[in-house]
């Protein structure tokens, strides 16, 4: 079990992590979802002993990362957001290096990384600095796993990665979870939340919700409408000026609209659009997804 109790961390005027408390179970695939600047990296760096909290306690499988940092570092595999392997060492040399530093060998734990490593093994003599983004990511994951950590800590592993590679990466995480490794991952992509057992929605150093993704969605009680229009920009402006508009924002090819009244029907919205001479295809009530929930939670705060 991993537990954060009332964790605070500031950098000069910036309250990067602001009273965070939560618990992660062993074997969970847990996601911190939030934009750049939410405090995810600071939280991760306190968990893995690289930063000391200003206030609060962390319990990592019974260890205190402040006092027992040497033991903590043995059981964590950490993949930082910024690629941090040695550019002038080859794929193979990087892996060898991390295995040796952690007092193990590639052979001993090869079974853990096999699925991932064999995709880059044909290029094992190539320097890490000359790899594509996807290959770097696979090498970094292999290096983070080679000492068989109890906890895999991945800081924005999919930022800047294309949609296909992102999907493959999450498939790899599922397999590692099945091997019993606890995985804590952060991401700015809301659509990745659904792939976690539980998620924490985070912004401005605070946690807004912690729950399984399906539960976060079901807690969203207001009626949400999707509006398919001809001109998104003009329609947004017009809806925003409507006195009943709570919030409206572009969402994929449509607009998502929330009304201040809780019993408004699609007809009423259609009538307003018509009165504004806006062309629309249809207005329907829909189920929100995680991104809608995130917007609602942070909209109310801001």
By CB under 8 A, name the one of 96, 232, 265, 276 that touches other proteins: 232
Toward other proteins, which CB reaches closer, 34 or 53? 34
Tell the smallest beta-carbon distance from residue 298 to other proteins (Å): 6
Is 238 a binding residue for other proteins by CB under 8 A? The answer is no
By CB under 8 A, name the one of 32, 117, 251, 257 that touches other proteins: 251
By CB under 8 A, name the one of 34, 77, 149, 157 that touches other proteins: 34
Toward other proteins, which CB reaches closer, 70 or 163? 163
Residues 162-181 that bind other proteins (CB under 8 A): 162-167
**Contacting range for other proteins; rule: CB under 8 A; set: 114-122, 140-148, 214-222, 244-252:** 244-252
**Residue 143 backbone phi and psi in degrees, to 5:** -65, -35
Is 54 a binding residue for other proteins by CB under 8 A? The answer is no
Whole-angstrom Cα Rg for the chain: 23
Tell the smallest beta-carbon distance from residue 151 to other proteins (Å): 24
**Residue 210 backbone phi and psi in degrees, to 5:** -135, 120
Rounded Cα gap, residues 238 and 259, in angstroms: 14
Toward other proteins, which CB reaches closer, 66 or 236? 236
Rounded Cα gap, residues 141 and 76, in angstroms: 12
Tell the smallest beta-carbon distance from residue 137 to other proteins (Å): 10
Helix then strand count (H, E) for the chain reads 10, 13
Please state, in angstroms and as integers, the Cα–Cα distance from residue 41 to each residue in 9, 37, 80, 140, 291, following that order.
11, 8, 8, 17, 21
**Contacting range for other proteins; rule: CB under 8 A; set: 32-40, 64-72, 108-116, 177-185:** 32-40
Rounded Cα gap, residues 188 and 38, in angstroms: 9
**Contacting range for other proteins; rule: CB under 8 A; set: 15-23, 52-60, 110-118, 188-196:** 188-196
Report the b/e string of 285-299 with b at 16+ CB within 10 A. eeebbbbbbbbbbbe
By CB under 8 A, name the one of 27, 56, 188, 223 that touches other proteins: 188
Q: Where are the beta strands (DSSP E) in 159-244?
A: 182-187, 198-203, 206-211, 224-229
Toward other proteins, which CB reaches closer, 164 or 277? 164
Residue 53 tokens, joined: 């909290």
Residues 119-158 that bind other proteins (CB under 8 A): 132-134, 156
Is 236 a binding residue for other proteins by CB under 8 A? The answer is yes
Is 109 a binding residue for other proteins by CB under 8 A? The answer is no
Report the b/e string of 9-37 with b at 16+ CB within 10 A. beeeeebbbeebebebeeebbbbbbbeee
Is 299 a binding residue for other proteins by CB under 8 A? The answer is yes
What is the binding site for other proteins (CB under 8 A)? Answer: 34-38, 132-134, 156, 159-167, 188-191, 203, 232-233, 236, 249-253, 291, 294-295, 298-299, 302
């Amino acid at each position: 079990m991993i537990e954060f109790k009332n964790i605070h961390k500031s950098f000069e005027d910036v309250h990067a992590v602001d009273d965070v408390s939560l618990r992660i179970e062993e074997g969970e695939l847990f996601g911190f979802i939030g934009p750049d600047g939410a405090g995810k990296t600071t939280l991760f760096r306190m968990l893995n002993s690289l930063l000391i909290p200003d206030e609060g306690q962390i319990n990592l499988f019974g260890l205190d990362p402040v006092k027992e940092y040497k033991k903590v570092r043995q059981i964590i595999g950490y993949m930082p957001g910024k690629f941090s392997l040695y550019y002038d060492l080859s794929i193979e040399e990087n892996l060898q290096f991390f295995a040796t530093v952690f007092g193990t060998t590639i052979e001993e734990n090869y079974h853990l990384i096999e699925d991932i490593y064999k995709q880059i093994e044909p290029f094992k003599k190539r320097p890490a600095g000359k790899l594509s983004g996807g290959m770097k990511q696979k090498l970094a994951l292999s290096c983070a796993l080679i000492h068989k950590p109890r906890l895999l800590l991945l800081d924005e592993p999919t930022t800047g990665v294309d949609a296909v590679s992102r999907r493959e990466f999450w498939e790899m995480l599922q397999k590692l979870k099945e091997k019993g490794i606890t995985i804590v991952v952060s991401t700015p992509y809301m659509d990745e939340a659904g792939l976690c057992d539980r998620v924490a929605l985070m912004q401005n150093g605070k946690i807004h919700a912690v729950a399984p993704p399906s539960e976060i969605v079901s807690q969203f009680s207001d009626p949400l409408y999707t509006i398919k229009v001809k001109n998104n920009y003009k329609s947004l402006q017009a809806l925003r000026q409507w006195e009943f508009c709570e919030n409206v924002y572009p969402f994929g090819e449509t607009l998502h609209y929330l009304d201040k009244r809780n019993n408004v029907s699609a007809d009423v919205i259609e009538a307003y659009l018509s009165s504004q001479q806006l062309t629309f295809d249809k207005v329907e009530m829909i189920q929100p997804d995680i991104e809608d929930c995130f917007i609602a939670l942070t909209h109310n705060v801001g």
